[in-house]
Amino acid sequence: MIFARDRVKIDFTYETWGWAVDFADAMFNDSKGKKRKNNHGIPEKENTDEENYRKVLQGAVAECAVYLHTGIEWHRAVGSVGNKSTLPDLGDDIQVRSSKPNRPFIYRRTDDEEQKFVFVWVNLEKREATIVGWLYGWECKEKGEWCDPQNRNNPIWSIHHMSPHPIDTLED
């Protein structure tokens, strides 16, 4: 279970929201220019530009939230959407996963079991994020449910019932 006491809510200022938007704009424009699948494995043509942009913005907001709370270096690696990036989202080994509030998180079979995955619920309308906690990749496999929710022969671990480590225990 995810305990409310371990969650951290991040309220964005105008300036910090702008950091996430600027990063999302760069990521979206890079991805759109390359006509590849987005970071959710869905071909761009199956979603509208607005839907694709909201997914990229959600991820950028989540990364920014973790940076704001932890102070761990945020790489803002443009060009990593849809790619297995060699550069983690933050620090030396931290990946950030986002979803809408109270929705499950995703761990992909191509993800590194030794990296740390921080889970963040993002509410774009309220301009807020809730850091739920973190797990090592191998813990995601243990706690997640192996499934193919979109029937695309691209199964993932869906992580919805978990006991993550509190974000304040995360070290780079």
Cα(9)–Cα(84) distance, rounded to whole angstroms? 29
Full-model pTM? 0.87
CB burial readout 9-35, b (16+ within 10 A) else e: ebebeeebeebbeebbebbbebbbeee
Confidence of residue 118 (pLDDT cuts 50, 70, 90): very high
pLDDT bin (cut points 50, 70, 90) of residue 84 is low
The answer to whether residues 120 and 130 touch, using CB atoms and an 8 Å cutoff, is yes
How far lies 164's CA from each of 117, 131, 157, in Å? 10, 11, 15
Average confidence (pLDDT) over 155-159: 91
The predicted structure's pLDDT at residue 83: 53
In this predicted model, what pLDDT tens digit does every residue of 32-78 receive, in sequence order? 766 555 444 445 456 688 888 999 999 999 999 999 999 999 999 88
Element (H, E) at 133: strand 128-136
Strands 128-136 and 8-11: antiparallel
Confidence of residue 172 (pLDDT cuts 50, 70, 90): confident
Q: How confident is the model at residue 106 (pLDDT cuts 50, 70, 90)?
A: very high
Lowest mean pLDDT among 20-29, 60-69, 94-103, 144-153: 144-153
Determine the pLDDT at residue 2. Answer: 53
- Give the least confident one: 10-19, 38-47, 132-141: 38-47
Q: What is the pLDDT of residue 162?
A: 74
Residue 77, pLDDT score = 86
pLDDT at 80 (0 to 100): 58
Q: Quick one: pLDDT at residue 35? A: 58
Query: Domains of the chain: which residue ranges?
Result: 4-169
